[in-house]
């Protein structure tokens, strides 16, 4: 179940409020003997996070939550989590468990010995609270009153945002429902990388910015150039990957504003980008790179990710 964007914080007795976590949305299933982890798109992530394979309950359960990694200040860090998201090999994963530990923040229960998605949120929440979740699993904190103080925490700590949930809402898998509302401090969008601009000065050996787009029925629509948010190590690694994906022609729909010095690549990388807003021309304003995701590029569409 997905949350609909909402422009501002609000208070209402029929709604509860939680933090919006900057991690990877994941469904955890416990069959009584083993844990399995699935991404929002159904990809198996079980082997990447062995520390989450702990006995969850004395009965089969299915949980919805977010895998997160905290930085030294206690803030969720998507950049840190990147180091775990695409790992393979038992030795590498074992080392990463120590170097980049993760937690699983649980905010819903979908199966509790039987399917419970048609029950209202508040009843599902009671079921979740009745579980004695073992570390590193932890239930999300719920604010049932005025969320102003929660938003002040989000703003002060520069967190992702908050999510409001209607107390009586059922759980609707795959639906972007108005019963859940996300209020973000920074907006974020998944984009498809279709090219890059050569770098200058200190970036002459890497790149200046990524050219990103969103799929439409007509083709890949260019939405902007992302040049900030890259660390020095990231710049070099990304440039090496881009060089392996070069192509002679543009994957984007024709756009007269496209920079002439662009270098084209196959549109197979998906980049998470923070931004302030979309311009009237459909460009990202103030974009900043956050990391790459393992989402299929074909799922990154204008309808799903574009301005609301």
Active site residues: 20
CB-CB neighbours of 177 under 10 Å: 17
Q: Which tokens go with 69?
A: 């990694």
Exposure letters 134-168 (e unless 16+ CB within 10 A, then b): eebbebbebbeeebeebbeebeeeebbbbbbbbbe
Closest CA to 27 of 100, 86, 103, 108: 108
Closest CA to 224 of 135, 289, 152: 289
Using only C-alpha atoms, the chain has a radius of gyration, in whole angstroms, of 20
- Return all residues near 130 (Cβ < 8 A) that are at least 6 apart: none
Neighbour order of strands in the sheet with 176-184: 2-5, 176-184, 161-166, 15-20
By the 10 Å C-beta count (0-12 exposed, 13-18 middle, 19+ buried), 228 is classed as exposed
How far is 108 from 294, CA to CA, in rounded Å?
A: 23
Q: How far is CA 45 from the centre of its chain?
A: 14
Q: Detail the DSSP E strand segments found in 120-175.
A: 137-139, 161-166
Residue reference for tokens 């799903």: 304
Torsion of CA 254, 256, 260, 265, to 10 degrees: -30
């Amino acid at each position: 179940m997905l949350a609909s964007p909402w422009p501002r914080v609000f208070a209402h007795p029929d709604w509860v409020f939680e933090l919006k976590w900057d991690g990877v949305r994941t469904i955890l299933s416990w069959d009584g003997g083993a844990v399995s982890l699935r991404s929002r798109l159904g990809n198996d992530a079980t082997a990447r996070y062995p520390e989450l394979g702990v006995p969850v309950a004395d009965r089969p359960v299915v949980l919805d939550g977010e895998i997160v990694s905290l930085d030294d200040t206690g803030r969720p860090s998507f950049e840190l989590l990147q180091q775990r998201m695409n790992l393979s090999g038992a030795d590498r994963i074992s080392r990463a468990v120590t170097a980049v530990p993760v937690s699983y923040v649980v905010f819903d229960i979908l199966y509790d010995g039987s399917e419970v998605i048609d029950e209202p949120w508040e009843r599902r929440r009671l079921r979740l609270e009745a579980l004695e979740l073992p570390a590193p699993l932890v239930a999300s904190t719920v604010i049932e009153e005025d969320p102003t103080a929660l938003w002040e925490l989000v703003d002060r700590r520069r967190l992702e945002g908050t999510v409001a949930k209607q107390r009586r809402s059922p759980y609707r898998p795959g639906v972007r429902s108005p019963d859940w509302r996300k209020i973000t401090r920074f907006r974020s969008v998944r984009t498809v990388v279709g090219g890059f601009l050569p770098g200058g000065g200190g970036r002459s050996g890497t790149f200046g910015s990524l050219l990103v787009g969103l799929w439409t029925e007509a083709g890949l629509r260019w939405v902007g150039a992302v040049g900030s948010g890259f660390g020095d190590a990231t710049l070099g690694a990304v440039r090496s990957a881009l060089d392996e994906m070069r192509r002679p022609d543009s994957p984007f729909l024709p756009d007269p504003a496209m920079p002439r010095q662009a270098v084209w690549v196959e549109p197979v990388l998906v980049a998470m980008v923070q931004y302030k807003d979309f311009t009237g021309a459909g460009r990202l304003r103030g974009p900043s790179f956050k990391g790459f995701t393992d989402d299929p590029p074909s799922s990154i569409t204008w309808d799903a990710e574009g301005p609301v």
